[in-house]
């Protein structure tokens, strides 16, 4: 019993009493802060994230215990996982030791007196120290862009290191006092005991006790510090993952949210509690920024900062109301600039990368909704929205001209408003109105005809489906467009709805509620692939040549449709080469989220579309960049001109290649 | 202030304009109407004045197909009252429009209160027989300035900026009540989200006043209406740079551009 | 027939505007065809000195009174009304310009003479005057017949050549004293265009450069031409992208929408995004090496050539013309 660390007097006070005082103090401060933060969340707007509890729990087990997303950056994935598991072991052991120390009469041993636990503590101690070394070297010598190199982070790394060392050397002192060497229960401590061989037993025991107390003080201090620092991440992220979004990311509906949420948010308490929780969970790792096309092009947007700024603003203004006469800093304009919130292309790279499953995009859209509600919208975008309101398309052309492209077709396309069709083709604005795309649209139609597909279009009954409208924050207009479209769609009879435009496809699939009606929503690449697989589109010749394929954001990341286009291309006989950034890592063309309607910001380095065509042009012998989105044609055909790659890289639509292959 | 904005729609040129079988008018079947840009600017200028000086903004519009959406938008932007002058308006020309507006305004208050400003478009692309503003002002016996791009009221008088040409503008002072023809507002017309327009549709009502247009109707018959010859491709100028430049100089001179 | 044609001369800051000469030229042709005298009303404080330049007219009536500094439309209409009555004028020509806007309307309201706006062509048929107007942004033309040649015509700028209205002859000048009420509206001051970068939406002439300008150094050539034309340089997106011109000079979808009287497109292919911003220009002249470039579909005049070859020659010729 003599080596019980609490069985001493510190400054004349019994050790147990000191431990009680420290524990109550630490838990008190921690509890107060935690309560403050929770109450902050409770003052935010509601959002229902309490459904499918089993599924949510499964997610937590996967993303918290295994952390698959951290491995999207190899160098730090494993070290982080090991530190995390070390943390679990040490937290368990600490609570055990603390309980044992506080209640010395309970007849259980200290955790390190149990062989297996001692072994785990020592092994993880070393493993965590090694992982910390990797982290330190990475931070000091190879910091990735946008990793926030804060004082906070350095302090925490030091504290964790100190914890491990205090534990290992505590073990070493105990082994030295016992005069034993390395054992299975204490392989490291036993080995280190050699350092203290000459020490008298009493001194060695003092050393062990001192380090036990140091360990306790550091852990309690750490606990107090945690909720005040960025390492709130550690406490909040499991909850953040648990309450993560289970519905498709391509659906911006806020489930169970207050109606006023449609008018957006300009103050911290106008966001939902889950949106605030995102900030609490962010570890400032910068994965989102590194993937963000806006950040990489030099637009003034870093998704990490959106989340961080919202957190800091919520804590600063929510916990400390401004004094009388003091003007509260405005969230929009003061904390987050207008340029920031309009720079987002809604490509979803940030959300796809985030290891704690944060949802940056809905926060950006909430901010935009507020700007729209205030009428604070740039002129170009205003014109587009006015066009969409009046004519149902962003081109400002008459809605009666929507199907004008069909006039140059040999045969008439069925009017799906008047007769039942198997497949309803939702053409979309760009494919209908952009003169650069008319030819591709006609070829698509001819391919459908060639395959004997029973299809039709809605002619002037179709309006913009509203994907971009919703993402620029014009929720009312989105709802109006959807209502009008649903009225027309409701009268038509079809089993499948297809679009060449991934933006339209996403909205039809995720935001129009077709799911319950047994209607399949397809992208044209899926349909063309199916028609070729079923032998309905006979390919008359092999195309040959090396091509690369660009995954559109709203087809790939949003809806995980990666293979049909690739299978189709391989079937055409071309040699498909992947760009370094492919599938879920595909790089946005910069058109989404309404960006195609907005002005460029002065001083940007390289447009996302330019970065992308350079990536394609750098592939050896690749002469064609194949796309599956009308907006990509517009963006990339422009970008090959501005990057001077026009002569070596052709930008072509999937349908154009299929068309070539069905020609004799 | 006691603010009025008067609106009259114009054919939407986004739609193909076709001439009717009589060769004297537009084919009504394909016509669609919208507020002209200058109408939108007149509304915006009035909203800016209301925000700066307070008061009541009444919008008076001559009825036309599909007009209601535009009027609810005006309400959502901040107009206090919207009145629709309805009746068998048909192809109403400027003088008849001025007469209808004048009759309505006289019915409101004759003479109008001293702090009254009546704003309307300075001109529109269908003003074939004249602009409404100056005629209306003449009917009401009020002063009028057109092509206005800025309005600064100052108790009993108003200082306005009128556009001349090439960026040159002039400042004029006139007593109120007055009629102003707005070319462009001091700020571009604001955007109002659809949600607010829909809320206005639910909560506010448009007043309708039945009117009978004056007997006289148009002041002259149109003999013929037709489309200009197909714009088609440019007339290509051939020759050496010297010759081409000479021809260009000649053309520019003809257009009095040099 | 003593019934005459009266033209309202337009002048600003002591200078007669081109529209005055354009109307004089058109009026001369009409007067000769109708056998009617051609008169000019020169109204405004300090305007008398301008009369000598109006030799294309048979007579100039000068109303030069101190209270007529930039008189409002109603006052102007009153002066014209009294002149019409006194001189038995049957046809009045006014400019469809910002300065004269409203004069015709008020005069029409008071005199009962019909007003025809937006005139681009005038012809005489059996003693009647037929006015061709451009309606709905140029999409539709209309012909209106003024029986007996009686009416007011508001003439669009640039519809008639100004040279036809310039004459060295000394016209007969008659000072007329017309009693007018002192206008309620007072002119305060001129507001000059703001210094700093040019607002291209307000320019009457724009020299637009596109990819065909090739290098930044060539921009200065375009600037020289713009200066000679009294306009400004603007550009299509590729040029702005290169940082050769500031964003404020961009024409098209991501930039400004412009409607100058002259748009000279140099090395611009005419992508829809660009055309959207400039198609409202009154006169479009395009120079491009690609004969199939879509810019030639919106231009009135086209030159299939390298813009860099035409540019310096054109600049020289215009400078030479100005002396």
In this predicted model, what pLDDT tens digit does every residue of B150-171 receive, in sequence order?
999 998 999 999 988 655 789 9
Query: Which residues pair with residue A456 across a beta bridge?
Result: A414, A424
Dig out the tokens for A420 from the structure. Answer: 């039942």
CB contact B188 to A (< 8 Å): yes
Identify the pLDDT of residue A581: 97
* Count of positions (residues) in chain A: 664
Identify the pLDDT of residue A397: 86
Q: Name the residue facing B127 among C117, C134, C193 (closest C-beta).
A: C117
Q: Which of residues 183-222 of B touch C (CB under 8 A)?
A: 183, 219-222
Which residue is it, tokens 């804060």? Answer: A150
Rounded Cα–Cα distance for residues A564 and A568 (Å) = 6
Inter-chain contacts counted by CB atoms under 8 A, chains B and C = 260
Identify the pLDDT of residue C1: 42
CB contact B29 to A (< 8 Å): no
Q: Name the residue facing B193 among A372, A397, A400 (closest C-beta).
A: A372
Contact B194 A390 (CB under 8 A): no
Confidence of residue C97 (pLDDT cuts 50, 70, 90): confident
Contact A396 B14 (CB under 8 A): yes
Contact B219 C108 (CB under 8 A): yes
Tell me which of A297, A642, A643, A646 to substitute to probe the interface with C (most C C-beta atoms closer than 10 Å). Answer: A642
Q: B101: part of which helix (H) or strand (E)?
A: helix B94-108
Contact A380 C241 (CB under 8 A): no
Asked if omega into B111 is within 30° of 0 (cis), the reply is: yes
pLDDT digits (tens, 9 = 90+) for A365-421: 999 999 999 999 987 788 889 999 999 999 888 999 999 999 999 899 999 999 999
Contact A446, A375 (CB under 8 A): no
Q: What percent of chain A has pLDDT over 90?
A: 83
A594: chain B residues, CB-CB within 8 Å: none
pLDDT at C159 over 80: no
Rounded Cα–Cα distance for residues A530 and A108 (Å) = 67
Q: What percent of chain B has pLDDT over 70?
A: 97
3-state helix, strand, coil in chain B (%, to 5): 30, 30, 40
* A294: number of Cβ within 10 Å: 27
Q: C209: which residues sit within 8 A by CB, 6+ positions away?
A: C218, C219, C222, C233, C234, C235, C236, C239, C245, C266, C267, C268, C307
SS (H, E, C) A525-560: HHHHHHHHHCCCCCCCCCCCCEEEECCCCCCCCCCC
Q: Which of residues 451-490 of A touch B (CB under 8 A)?
A: 474-477, 479-480
Average pLDDT over residues C243-254: 75
Identify the pLDDT of residue A1: 36
Inter-chain contacts counted by CB atoms under 8 A, chains A and B = 43
Min CA distance, B133 vs chain A (Å)?
A: 27
Rounded Cα–Cα distance for residues B50 and A475 (Å) = 28
Contact C247 A641 (CB under 8 A): no
Contact A434 C255 (CB under 8 A): no
Confidence of residue C323 (pLDDT cuts 50, 70, 90): low
* Lowest mean per-residue pLDDT among A596-605, B236-245, C172-181: A596-605
pLDDT at C194 over 70: no
Q: Name the residue facing A480 among B15, B191, B194 (closest C-beta).
A: B194
CB contact B196 to A (< 8 Å): yes
Q: Which of B161, B146, B165 is nearest to C17 (CA)?
A: B165
Identify the pLDDT of residue C218: 83
Rounded Cα–Cα distance for residues A343 and A204 (Å) = 62
Q: Which residue of C has its CA nearest to B248?
A: C314
Q: Which of A498, A396, A401 is nearest to A454 (CA)?
A: A498
Identify the pLDDT of residue C2: 45
Long-range CB pairs of B12-15 (<8 Å, 24+ gap) are B13/B125, B13/C136, B13/C137, B13/C139, B14/A391, B14/A396, B14/A397, B14/A398, B15/A398, B15/A400
What are the Cα distances from residue A578, in Å, to A566, A588, A625? Answer: 10, 15, 10
Q: Which tops the pLDDT comparison, C273 or A67?
A: A67
pLDDT digits (tens, 9 = 90+) for A35-59: 999 999 999 999 999 999 999 999 9
pLDDT at B191 over 70: yes
Min CA distance, A402 vs chain B (Å)?
A: 12
Q: Which of C181, C176, C182 is nearest to C86 (CA)?
A: C176
pLDDT digits (tens, 9 = 90+) for B81-131: 999 999 988 778 899 999 999 999 999 998 999 999 999 999 998 899 999
DSSP assignment string, A342-394? H------HHHHH-TT---HHHHHHHHHHHHHHTT---HHHHHHHHHHHHHSST
Identify the pLDDT of residue A475: 95
Contact A391 B14 (CB under 8 A): yes
CA angle A543, A544, A545 (to 5 degrees): 125
Contact A263 B195 (CB under 8 A): yes
Confidence of residue A5 (pLDDT cuts 50, 70, 90): confident
Rounded Cα–Cα distance for residues A28 and A24 (Å) = 6
Rounded Cα–Cα distance for residues A466 and A394 (Å) = 10
How confident is the prediction for chain C on average, in pLDDT? 88
pLDDT at B239 over 90: no
Average pLDDT over residues B172-184: 95
Which residue is it, tokens 């809905």? Answer: A362
Identify the pLDDT of residue C76: 96
* B221: number of Cβ within 10 Å: 11
| 3-class SS of residue B174 | strand
Identify the pLDDT of residue C272: 63
Confidence of residue C195 (pLDDT cuts 50, 70, 90): low
Strands B56-62 and C151-156: unpaired
Average pLDDT over residues C296-316: 89
Q: Which residue of A has its CA nearest to C253?
A: A380
What are the Cα distances from residue A266, in Å, to A255, A261, A354, A481? Answer: 20, 11, 24, 25
Tell me which of B193, B198, B200, B202 to substitute to probe the interface with A (most A C-beta atoms closer than 10 Å). Answer: B193
CB contact B233 to C (< 8 Å): yes
Q: Provide the sign of the torsion angle of the four alpha carbons A272, A275, A281, A282, taken in this order.
A: negative
Min CA distance, C145 vs chain B (Å)?
A: 6
Q: C70: which residues sit within 8 A by CB, 6+ positions away?
A: B170, B172, C44, C187
Confidence of residue A559 (pLDDT cuts 50, 70, 90): very high
Phi, psi of A466 (to 5 degrees): 105, 5
C241: chain A residues, CB-CB within 8 Å: 600, 642
pLDDT at C253 over 60: no
Contact A476 B190 (CB under 8 A): no
Identify the pLDDT of residue C160: 86
What are the Cα distances from residue A581, in Å, to A349, A549, A565, B217? Answer: 11, 10, 16, 69
Query: Which residues pair with residue C42 across a beta bridge?
Result: C62
Q: Name the residue facing A602 among C211, C247, C272 (closest C-beta).
A: C247
B192: chain A residues, CB-CB within 8 Å: 375
* Chains contacting B (3+ CB pairs below 8 angstroms): A, C
pLDDT at C215 over 80: no
Q: C236: part of which helix (H) or strand (E)?
A: none
Q: Which residue of C has its CA nearest to B245?
A: C314
Rounded Cα–Cα distance for residues A366 and A346 (Å) = 13
Confidence of residue B217 (pLDDT cuts 50, 70, 90): low
Rounded Cα–Cα distance for residues A269 and A245 (Å) = 20
Q: Which residue of B has its CA nearest to A477?
A: B194
Contact C255 A436 (CB under 8 A): no
Contact A426, A511 (CB under 8 A): no
pLDDT digits (tens, 9 = 90+) for A634-649: 899 888 877 889 889 9
Q: Which of C37, C55, C44 is nearest to C13 (CA)?
A: C44
Please, is C181 exposed, middle or buried when counting C-beta atoms within 10 Å of its C-beta (0-12, 13-18, 19+)?
exposed
pLDDT at A180 over 60: yes
How confident is the prediction for chain B on average, in pLDDT? 91
Q: Name the residue facing B146 among C101, C142, C161 (closest C-beta).
A: C101
What are the Cα distances from residue A292, in Å, to A126, A311, A617, C304? Answer: 36, 20, 21, 44
Min CA distance, C269 vs chain A (Å)?
A: 13
Min CA distance, A393 vs chain C (Å)?
A: 15
CB contact B14 to C (< 8 Å): no
Min CA distance, B30 vs chain C (Å)?
A: 14
Confidence of residue C182 (pLDDT cuts 50, 70, 90): confident
Task: Spell out where A146-254 has E strands.
Answer: none
Contact C95, C20 (CB under 8 A): yes
Tell me which of B192, B194, B200 to substitute to probe the interface with A (most A C-beta atoms closer than 10 Å). Answer: B194
pLDDT digits (tens, 9 = 90+) for A335-352: 999 999 999 999 999 999
Q: For the packed helices B132-140 and C73-87, what is the interaxial angle rounded to 10 degrees?
A: 90
Contact C254 A600 (CB under 8 A): yes
* Chains contacting A (3+ CB pairs below 8 angstroms): B, C
Q: Where are the alpha helices (DSSP H) in chain C?
A: 18-34, 73-87, 103-111, 219-229, 237-241, 272-278, 295-298, 307-322
Identify the pLDDT of residue B167: 59
Confidence of residue B229 (pLDDT cuts 50, 70, 90): low
Q: Distance between alpha carbon C157 and the CA centroid of its chain, in Å? A: 3
Phi, psi of C167 (to 5 degrees): -150, 150
Q: Name the residue facing B133 among C99, C102, C185 (closest C-beta).
A: C102
pLDDT at A270 over 90: yes
Dig out the tokens for A632 from the structure. Answer: 């990509």
């Amino acid at each position: 019993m003599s080596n019980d660390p609490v069985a001493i007097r510190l400054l004349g006070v019994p050790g147990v009493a000191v431990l009680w005082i420290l524990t109550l103090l630490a838990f008190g401060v921690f509890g107060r802060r935690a309560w403050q933060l929770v109450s902050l969340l409770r003052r935010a707007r509601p959002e229902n994230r309490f459904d499918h509890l089993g599924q949510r729990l499964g997610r937590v087990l996967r993303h918290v215990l295994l952390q698959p997303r951290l491995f999207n950056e190899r160098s730090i994935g494993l070290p982080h996982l090991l530190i995390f598991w070390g943390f679990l072991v040490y937290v368990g052991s600490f609570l055990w030791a603390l309980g044992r120390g506080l209640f010395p009469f309970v007849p259980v041993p200290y955790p390190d007196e149990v062989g297996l636990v001692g072994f785990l503590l020592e092994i993880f101690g070393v493993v965590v120290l090694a992982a910390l070394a990797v982290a330190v070297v990475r931070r000091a010598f190879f910091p990735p862009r946008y990793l926030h190199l804060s004082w906070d982070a350095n302090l925490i790394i030091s504290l964790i290191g100190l914890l491990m060392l205090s534990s290992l050397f505590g073990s070493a002192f105990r082994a030295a006092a016992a005069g034993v060497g390395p054992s299975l229960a204490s392989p490291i401590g036993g080995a280190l005991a050699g350092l203290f061989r000459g020490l008298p037993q009493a001194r060695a025991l003092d050393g062990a006790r001192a380090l036990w107390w140091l360990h306790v003080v550091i852990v309690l201090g750490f606990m107090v510090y945690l909720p005040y620092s960025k390492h709130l991440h550690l406490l909040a992220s499991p909850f953040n993952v648990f309450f993560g979004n289970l519905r498709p990311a391509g659906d911006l509906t806020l489930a169970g949210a207050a109606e006023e949420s449609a008018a957006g948010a300009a103050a911290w308490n106008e966001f939902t509690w889950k949106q605030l929780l995102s900030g609490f969970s962010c570890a400032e790792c910068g994965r989102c920024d590194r993937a963000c096309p806006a950040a990489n092009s030099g637009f003034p947007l870093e998704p990490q900062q959106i989340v961080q700024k919202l957190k800091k603003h919520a804590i600063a203004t929510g916990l400390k109301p401004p004094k009388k006469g003091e003007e509260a800093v405005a969230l929009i304009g003061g904390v987050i600039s207008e340029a920031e919130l309009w720079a987002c292309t809604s490509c979803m790279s940030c959300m796809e990368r985030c290891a704690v499953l944060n949802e940056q995009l809905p926060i950006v859209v909430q901010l935009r909704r507020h700007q729209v509600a205030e009428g604070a919208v740039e002129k170009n975008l205003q014109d587009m929205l006015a066009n969409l309101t009046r004519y149902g398309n962003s081109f400002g052309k008459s809605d009666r001209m929507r199907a004008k492209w069909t006039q140059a077709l040999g045969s008439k396309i069925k009017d799906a408003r008047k007769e039942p069709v198997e497949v309803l083709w939702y053409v979309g604005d760009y494919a209908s109105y952009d003169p650069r795309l008319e030819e591709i649209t006609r070829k698509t139609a001819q391919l459908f005809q060639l395959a004997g597909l029973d299809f039709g279009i809605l002619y002037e009954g179709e309006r913009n489906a509203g994907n971009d409208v919703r993402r620029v924050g014009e929720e009312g207009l989105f709802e109006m467009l959807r209502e009008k479209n649903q009225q027309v769609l409701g009268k038509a009879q079809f089993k499948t709805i297809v679009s060449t435009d991934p933006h339209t496809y996403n909205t039809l699939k995720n935001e129009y509620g077709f799911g319950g009606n047994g209607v399949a929503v397809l992208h044209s690449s899926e349909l063309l692939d199916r028609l070729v697989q079923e032998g309905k589109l006979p390919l008359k010749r092999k195309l040959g040549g090396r091509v690369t394929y660009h995954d559109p954001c709203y087809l790939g990341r949003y809806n995980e449709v990666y293979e049909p286009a690739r299978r189709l291309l391989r079937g055409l006989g071309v040699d498909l080469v992947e760009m370094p950034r492919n599938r879920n890592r595909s790089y946005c063309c910069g058109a989404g989220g309404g960006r195609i309607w907005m002005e460029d910001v002065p001083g940007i380095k390289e447009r996302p579309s330019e970065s992308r065509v350079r990536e394609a042009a750098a592939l050896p012998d690749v002469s064609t960049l194949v796309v599956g989105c009308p907006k990509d044609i517009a963006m990339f055909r422009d970008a090959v001109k501005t990057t001077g790659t026009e002569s070596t890289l052709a930008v072509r639509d999937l349908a154009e290649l299929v068309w070539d292959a069905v020609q004799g | 202030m006691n603010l009025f904005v008067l609106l009259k729609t114009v054919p939407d040129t986004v739609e193909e304009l076709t001439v009717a079988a009589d060769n004297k008018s537009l084919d009504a079947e394909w016509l669609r109407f919208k507020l002209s840009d200058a109408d939108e600017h007149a509304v915006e200028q009035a909203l800016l004045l209301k925000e700066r000086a307070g008061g009541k903004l009444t919008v008076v519009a001559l009825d036309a197909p599909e007009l209601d959406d535009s009027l609810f938008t005006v309400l959502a932007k901040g107009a206090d009252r919207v009145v629709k002058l309805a009746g068998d308006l048909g192809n109403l020309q400027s003088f008849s429009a001025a007469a209808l507006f004048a009759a309505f305004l006289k019915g409101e208050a004759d003479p109008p209160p001293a702090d009254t400003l009546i704003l309307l478009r300075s001109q529109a692309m269908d003003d074939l027989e004249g602009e409404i503003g100056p005629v209306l002002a003449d009917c009401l016996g009020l002063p009028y300035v057109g092509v206005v791009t800025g309005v600064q009221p100052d108790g009993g008088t108003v200082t306005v900026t009128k556009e001349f040409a090439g960026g040159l503008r002039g400042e004029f002072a006139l007593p109120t009540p007055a009629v102003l023809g707005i070319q462009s507002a001091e700020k571009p017309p604001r955007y109002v989200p659809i949600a607010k327009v829909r809320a206005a549709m639910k909560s506010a009502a448009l007043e309708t006043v039945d009117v009978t247009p004056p007997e006289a109707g148009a002041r002259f018959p149109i003999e013929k209406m037709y489309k200009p010859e197909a714009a088609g491709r440019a007339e290509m100028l051939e020759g050496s740079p010297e010759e081409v430049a000479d021809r260009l100089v000649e053309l520019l001179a003809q257009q009095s551009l040099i | 027939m003593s019934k005459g044609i009266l033209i309202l001369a337009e002048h600003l800051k002591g200078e007669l505007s081109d529209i005055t000469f354009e109307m004089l030229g058109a009026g001369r042709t009409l007067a000769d065809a109708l056998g009617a005298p051609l008169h000019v009303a020169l109204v405004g404080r300090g305007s008398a000195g301008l009369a000598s330049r109006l030799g294309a007219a048979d007579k100039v009536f000068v109303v030069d009174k101190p209270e007529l500094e930039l008189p409002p439309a109603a006052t102007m209409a009153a002066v014209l009304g009294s002149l019409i009555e006194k001189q038995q004028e049957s046809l009045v020509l006014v400019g469809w310009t910002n300065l004269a806007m409203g004069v015709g309307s008020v005069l029409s309201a008071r005199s009962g003479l019909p007003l025809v706006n937006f005139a681009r062509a005038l012809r005489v048929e059996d003693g009647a005057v037929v006015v061709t107007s451009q309606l709905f942004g140029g999409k539709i033309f209309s012909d209106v017949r003024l029986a007996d040649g009686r009416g007011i015509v508001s003439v669009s700028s640039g519809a008639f050549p100004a040279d036809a209205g310039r004459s060295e002859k000394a016209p007969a000048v008659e000072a007329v004293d017309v009693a007018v009420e002192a206008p309620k509206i007072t002119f305060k001051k001129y507001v000059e265009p703001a210094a700093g970068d040019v607002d291209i939406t307000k320019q009457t002439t724009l020299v637009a450069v596109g990819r065909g300008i090739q290098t930044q150094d060539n921009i200065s050539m375009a600037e020289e031409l713009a200066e000679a034309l009294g306009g400004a340089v603007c550009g299509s997106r590729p040029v702005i992208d290169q940082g050769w011109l500031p964003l404020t000079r961009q024409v098209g979808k991501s930039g400004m929408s412009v409607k100058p009287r002259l748009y000279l497109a140099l090395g611009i292919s005419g992508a829809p995004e660009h055309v959207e911003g400039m198609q409202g220009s009154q006169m479009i002249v395009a120079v491009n090496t690609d004969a199939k470039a879509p810019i030639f579909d919106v231009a009135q005049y086209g030159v299939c050539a390298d813009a860099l070859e035409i540019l310096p020659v054109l600049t020289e010729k215009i400078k030479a013309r100005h002396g």
